[in-house]
């Protein structure tokens, strides 16, 4: 009964503070809202698609074309060059969401736009571009001049230009391959026949171009049940990470009431009753576990409604939630057992919760880099918060119950070890 | 007691508590190194290409052509999976060991010869950045394969029209020839950068991004300790006693501000020094510019710290009030995920925040290789924010002390 009373008093204390409530609920949601704004927003049906930012591109088309060559007889220009077509491609409706173009007349002016940061990338098409792509000669390459702090925008421009160059390369390869085969077989064709089959080839190649090429894509098994967009993945990982960060902070501040009570003398008064240190610790633990469970339930509910986050099967979320609550409470008890005063606890708890929480957030920080993401995920597992976030993301990904339970099991091991350390130190302190 | 005495008292308190050094030095150093390591630090030229498995018969012409083209890719690298059955490949992709796995159909040539475009069965998680990157490159390679097959078909047609009956063998010969030609194409695209620094200097092994970011983040996080001292002064009624002396309220605030500024500046300076000497981040490329950003950045962070200390009622609140701006300003400043990945609205909002200008000014020096001229505007904006936070702190302090 005393255990329950202690727990209820602590729970009332946590939930009666407006400031505490803001920190438990409003701040994590606010930060996830920030990520939502950053990467695309939400729609009524769920998280909107990840929106790739538009790259401001300075384009310098120096291509002089080739005498007598008009690469687009359908337009008014009698000497349309490969450079003209490239600029037209980049300015097309398809590309409007990816690049915005500003034309410059000299390479220096284009580069200056990047230097002054009015453009992120300068695309400089050389004078010999048409001749180079038609002949396949090395010539002067197309130059992508970029701000060194950027990667995404320049890579999009490079990809578009690369595909455009591939188009000419495929035509050249076709010509050389056919010519070689005809020569080997000593076959000659009339120009009209050659033009007819070439036109058929170009039509076939153009028809085969699609966003998916000839790939037949299949998602990996766990995610197959619940296919998710990149945006949904970003939101899910950030929400799980933020929730875990603040739940462990709640765990630490909840356990800090031991120090507060000790400084206020109420703890000593409690020991004059029949309450043993073990009873007090159990009461405190129960209070923190209940508070963190309520905190997570509210955050899960609100994020489901506000950000359309799919947390996965209720049973698996429950396993992750239970293990996280126990671990956060044990984490708080262990940390507080090393503290002598609330002054000391303020700095140390803040520091350790921030450091370990940031380790757990590594997968979020490294999402934009495929190679870093793997290493980031491993580093996260050096902190209990990392395992907790992993359990929630596994539930979100639709992983098997066995996998979620294995992660939860490791979290419980962390909890048992941390609680044992905290209990031993508390017992020594209050002996 | 004058302003300097008050400042020295605060600094002595900060230094006496060795645990605050954890925030000031240990944590930012550890995280700078850890984040730099994750992003391929220590100068090691990390292979940033994503791992992809190509499954098929190594003696098959299509498999060879595809693998040869993939080997030249700057985006994907071919790896041999532990097991090549579909179930194992799905697990490997799910667990991130592979960015994608492609199975080359055994009858690719036959199907192409008959006029269809065979599909390459690919296991890929497009919700991951690795999967998305791999898929983009695999689409390009698959289109080259399709183009080679179309060329081979055309060759058969041309030969037939020329009076030489052509069959599957001619198709295969033309396909192999066309696919091989892709490997010989001239490099028609070159990338250059707007920087006075060499690639090695401006990347600093991955630390050129993490070092300025962690300076911003942990200079704000360390306000927990400085703000805590102001809170403690009020809780212990030392402030009330101080008000009974001849020292004026503005001088009390100034004393606290100078203490917080000294703490933040010393922390930033040490982290800059660590970045420059140990991690080879190019802060000393423009030392005056670096000093100016560090001073103005410290002025803004210190003013924020003063406001937090005055606005907090307890140490717990000081921690929370420090962590909230740490998350917001670091996130908006591009300390975690570079802002180029964020949308237009977010970037616009970010540009209004001081964290953005601090990180951006440092990056201008260490990555773009710019000098003093480039940091004048950011420094002025940082000072503007320092004034704003300072003003709010004064107003709050006036209300508190009647």
Nearest CA in chain B to A378: B38
- Higher pLDDT residue, B346 or A343? B346
Q: What is the distance in angstroms between the Cα of A265 and the nearest Cα belonging to chain B?
A: 17
Ordered alpha helix ranges (H), A136-229: 152-184, 191-208, 221-224
Partner-chain residue, chosen from A27, A347, A362, that has the shortest CB–CB distance to B20 = A347
Low-confidence winner among A16-20, A138-142, A402-406 (lowest mean pLDDT)? A16-20
Partner-chain residue, chosen from B132, B147, B197, that has the shortest CB–CB distance to A170 = B147
User: Please, what sign has the CA dihedral across residues A41, A45, A50, A55?
Assistant: negative
Q: What is the mean pLDDT of residues B371-396?
A: 96
Q: How far is CA A270 from CA A16, A144, A261, A330, A337, in A?
A: 22, 72, 9, 22, 18
Partner A, chain B 217-246, Cβ-Cβ below 8 Å? 221, 224-225, 228, 232
Residue A218: inside a domain: no
Residue A99: inside a domain: yes
Residue A224: inside a domain: no
CA distance A375 to A394: 18
Ordered alpha helix ranges (H), A209-313: 221-224, 230-255, 257-264, 266-271, 277-307
CA distance A369 to B206: 12
What does pLDDT average to over chain A? 85
CA angle B53, B56, B60 (to 5 degrees): 130
Same domain, A59 and A153: yes
**CB atoms B224 and A347 under 8 Å:** yes
User: pLDDT class for A229, splitting at 50, 70, 90?
Assistant: low
**CB atoms A185 and B162 under 8 Å:** yes
Nearest CA in chain A to B14: A347
Residue A82: inside a domain: yes
**CB atoms B337 and A350 under 8 Å:** no
pLDDT value at B43 more than 70 = no
Most confident of A252-266, B310-324, B360-374: B360-374
Nearest CA in chain B to A150: B340
Give the pLDDT confidence score for residue A224 in this predicted structure: 47
Domain final position from A208, A240, A257:
A208
Give the pLDDT confidence score for residue B47 in this predicted structure: 66
Tell me whether A254 touches chain B (CB under 8 Å).
no
Same domain, A340 and A243: yes
pLDDT value at B151 more than 80 = yes
Tell me whether A155 touches chain B (CB under 8 Å).
no
CA distance A154 to B331: 23
Chain A residues close to B320, C-beta within 8 Å: 19, 23, 27
Query: Among candidates A378, A392, A107, A369, which has minimal Cα distance to A248?
Result: A392
Partner A, chain B 356-375, Cβ-Cβ below 8 Å? 363, 367-368
Residue A344: inside a domain: yes
Residue written as tokens 């702190």? B393
Residue A421: inside a domain: yes
Partner-chain residue, chosen from B144, B187, B189, that has the shortest CB–CB distance to A144 = B189
Strand, helix or coil for residue B301: helix
- In this predicted model, what pLDDT tens digit does every residue of B275-325 receive, in sequence order? 999 999 999 999 999 999 999 999 999 999 999 999 998 877 888 888 888
Partner A, chain B 130-169, Cβ-Cβ below 8 Å? 130, 132-133, 135-136, 138-148, 150-152, 154-155, 157-159, 161-164
Q: What is the distance in angstroms between the Cα of B13 and the nearest Cα belonging to chain A?
A: 12
Tell me whether B383 touches chain A (CB under 8 Å).
no
Most confident of B30-34, B152-156, B343-347: B152-156
Partner A, chain B 276-305, Cβ-Cβ below 8 Å? none
Give the pLDDT confidence score for residue A406 in this predicted structure: 96
Q: What is the mean pLDDT of residues B171-183?
A: 92
**CB atoms A253 and B152 under 8 Å:** no
Q: What is the mean pLDDT of residues B134-155?
A: 90
- Residue A167 belongs to a domain with what CATH number? 3.40.1710
Residue A426, both tokens: 């508390």
Q: What is the mean pLDDT of residues A388-409?
A: 92
Same domain, A196 and A308: no
Nearest CA in chain B to A176: B178
Tell me whether A72 touches chain B (CB under 8 Å).
no
Q: What is the distance in angstroms between the Cα of B324 and the nearest Cα belonging to chain A?
A: 7
Q: What is the mean pLDDT of residues A34-61?
A: 72
**Count of domains forming chain A:** 2
CATH architecture of B50-182: 3-Layer(aba) Sandwich (3.40)
**CB atoms A358 and B31 under 8 Å:** yes
Same domain, A315 and A386: yes
Partner-chain residue, chosen from B34, B120, B347, that has the shortest CB–CB distance to A216 = B120
Q: How far is CA B384 from CA A304, B309, B353, B359, in A?
A: 39, 20, 11, 16
Same domain, A356 and A377: yes
What global pTM score does this model have?
A: 0.80
pLDDT value at B274 more than 90 = yes
Chain B residues close to A371, C-beta within 8 Å: 40, 46-48, 50, 130
**CB atoms A215 and B17 under 8 Å:** no
Tell me whether 0.90 is exceeded by the ipTM. Answer: no
Same domain, A162 and A283: no
Tell me whether A116 touches chain B (CB under 8 Å).
no
* Residue B145 C-beta-side C-alpha neighbours within 13 Å: 29
Same domain, A28 and A150: no
Chain A residues close to B336, C-beta within 8 Å: 361, 364-365
Q: For residues A284-295, b (16+ Cβ closer than 10 Å) or e, as one string?
A: bbbbbbbbbbbb
Listed by start position, the domains of chain B span 3-42+200-400, 50-182
The DSSP call for residue A96 is: T
Residue written as tokens 């954890």? B22
Same domain, A423 and A370: yes
Report the percent of chain A where pLDDT is more than 70. Answer: 92
pLDDT value at B106 more than 50 = yes
Strand locations in B119-187 (E): 120-124
Q: What is the mean pLDDT of residues B16-41?
A: 77
Residues 6+ apart with CB under 8 A from A19: B317, B320
Range of the domain at A404: 2-47+229-429
CA distance A340 to A257: 12
What does pLDDT average to over chain B? 87
Residues 6+ apart with CB under 8 A from A97: A51, A52, A54
Same domain, A268 and A150: no
Query: Among candidates A265, A224, A247, which has minimal Cα distance to A328?
Result: A247
Report the percent of chain B where pLDDT is more than 90. Answer: 41
Chain A residues close to B96, C-beta within 8 Å: 373-374, 377
- Higher pLDDT residue, A309 or A295? A295
- In this predicted model, what pLDDT tens digit does every residue of A189-210 receive, in sequence order? 787 877 777 777 777 777 766 6
User: Please, what sign has the CA dihedral across residues B61, B62, B67, B70?
Assistant: positive
**CB atoms A173 and B182 under 8 Å:** yes
**CB atoms A208 and B117 under 8 Å:** yes
Residue A219: inside a domain: no
Give the pLDDT confidence score for residue B133 in this predicted structure: 83
User: pLDDT class for B45, splitting at 50, 70, 90?
Assistant: very low
């Amino acid at each position: 009964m005393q255990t329950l009373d202690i727990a209820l008093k602590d729970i009332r204390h946590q939930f009666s503070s407006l400031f505490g409530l803001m920190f438990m609920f409003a701040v994590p949601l606010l930060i996830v809202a920030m990520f939502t704004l950053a990467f695309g927003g939400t729609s009524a049906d769920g998280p909107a698609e990840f929106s790739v930012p538009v790259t401001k591109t300075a384009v310098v088309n120096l291509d002089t074309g080739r005498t007598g060559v008009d690469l687009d007889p359908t337009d008014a220009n009698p000497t349309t060059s490969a450079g003209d077509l490239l600029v037209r491609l980049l300015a097309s409706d398809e590309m409007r969401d990816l690049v915005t173009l500003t034309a410059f007349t000299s390479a220096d002016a284009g580069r200056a736009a990047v230097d002054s940061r009015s453009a992120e990338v300068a695309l400089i098409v050389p004078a010999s571009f048409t001749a180079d792509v038609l002949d396949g000669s090395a010539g002067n390459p197309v130059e992508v001049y970029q701000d060194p702090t950027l990667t995404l925008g320049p890579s999009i421009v490079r990809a578009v230009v690369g595909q455009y160059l591939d188009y000419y390369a495929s035509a050249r390869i076709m010509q050389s391959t056919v010519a070689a085969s005809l020569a080997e077989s000593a076959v000659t064709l009339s120009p009209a026949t050659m033009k007819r089959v070439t036109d058929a080839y170009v039509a076939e190649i153009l028809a085969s171009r699609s966003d998916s090429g000839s790939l037949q894509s299949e998602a990996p098994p766990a995610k197959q049940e619940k296919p998710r967009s990149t945006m949904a993945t970003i939101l899910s990982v950030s929400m799980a990470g933020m929730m875990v960060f603040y739940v462990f902070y709640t765990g630490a501040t909840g356990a800090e009431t031991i120090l507060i009570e000790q400084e206020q003398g109420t703890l000593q008064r409690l020991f004059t009753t029949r309450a043993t240190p073990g009873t007090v610790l159990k009461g405190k633990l129960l209070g923190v576990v209940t508070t963190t469970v309520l905190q997570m339930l509210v955050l899960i509910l609100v994020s489901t409604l506000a950000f359309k986050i799919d947390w996965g099967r209720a049973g698996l979320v429950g396993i992750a939630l239970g293990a996280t609550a126990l671990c956060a409470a044990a984490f708080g008890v262990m940390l507080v057992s090393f503290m002598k005063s609330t002054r000391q606890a303020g700095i140390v708890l803040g520091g350790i919760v921030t450091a370990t929480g940031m380790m757990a957030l590594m997968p979020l920080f490294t999402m934009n880099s495929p190679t870093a993401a793997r290493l980031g995920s491993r580093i996260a597992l050096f902190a209990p918060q990392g395992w907790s976030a992993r359990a929630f993301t596994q539930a979100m990904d639709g992983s098997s119950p066995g996998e979620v339970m294995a992660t939860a099991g490791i979290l419980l091991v962390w909890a048992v070890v941390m609680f044992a350390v905290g209990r031993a130190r508390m017992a020594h302190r209050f002996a | 007691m004058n302003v300097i005495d008050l400042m020295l008292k605060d600094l002595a308190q900060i230094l006496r508590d060795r645990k605050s050094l954890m925030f000031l030095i240990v944590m930012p150093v550890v995280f700078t190194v850890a984040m730099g390591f994750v992003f391929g630090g220590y100068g090691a030229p990390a292979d940033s290409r994503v791992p992809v498995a190509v499954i098929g018969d190594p003696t098959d012409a299509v498999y060879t052509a595809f693998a040869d083209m993939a080997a030249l890719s700057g985006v994907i690298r071919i790896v041999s999976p532990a097991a090549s059955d579909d179930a194992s490949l799905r697990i490997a992709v799910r667990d991130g060991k592979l960015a994608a796995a492609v199975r080359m159909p055994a009858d690719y040539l036959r199907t192409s010869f008959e006029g269809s475009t065979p599909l390459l069965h690919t296991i890929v998680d497009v919700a991951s950045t690795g999967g998305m990157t791999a898929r983009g490159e695999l689409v390009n390679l698959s289109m080259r394969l399709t183009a080679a097959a179309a060329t081979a078909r055309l060759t058969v047609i041309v030969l037939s029209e020329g009076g030489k009956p052509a069959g599957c063998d001619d198709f295969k010969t033309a396909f192999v020839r066309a696919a091989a030609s892709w490997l010989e194409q001239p490099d028609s695209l070159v990338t250059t950068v707007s920087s006075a620094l060499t690639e090695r200097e401006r990347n600093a092994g991955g630390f050129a991004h993490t070092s300025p970011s962690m300076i911003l983040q942990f200079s704000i996080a360390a306000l927990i300790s400085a703000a805590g001292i102001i809170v403690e002064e009020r809780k212990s009624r030392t402030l009330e006693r101080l008000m009974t002396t001849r020292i004026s309220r503005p001088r009390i605030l100034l004393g606290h501000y100078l203490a917080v500024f000294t703490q933040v500046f010393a922390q930033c300076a040490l982290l800059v020094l660590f970045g420059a000497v140990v991690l080879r981040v190019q802060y000393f490329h423009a030392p005056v510019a670096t000093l100016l950003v560090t001073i103005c950045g410290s002025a803004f962070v210190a003013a924020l710290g003063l406001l937090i200390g005055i606005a907090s009622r307890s140490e717990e609140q000081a921690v929370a009030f420090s962590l909230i701006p740490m998350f917001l300003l670091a996130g908006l400043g591009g300390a975690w995920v570079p802002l180029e990945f964020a949308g237009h609205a977010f970037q616009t909002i970010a540009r209004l925040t001081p964290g953005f200008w601090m990180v951006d000014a440092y990056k201008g020096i260490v990555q773009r290789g710019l000098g003093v001229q480039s940091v004048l505007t950011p420094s002025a904006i940082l000072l503007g924010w320092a004034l704003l936070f300072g003003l709010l702190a004064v107003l709050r302090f006036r209300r508190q002390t009647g």
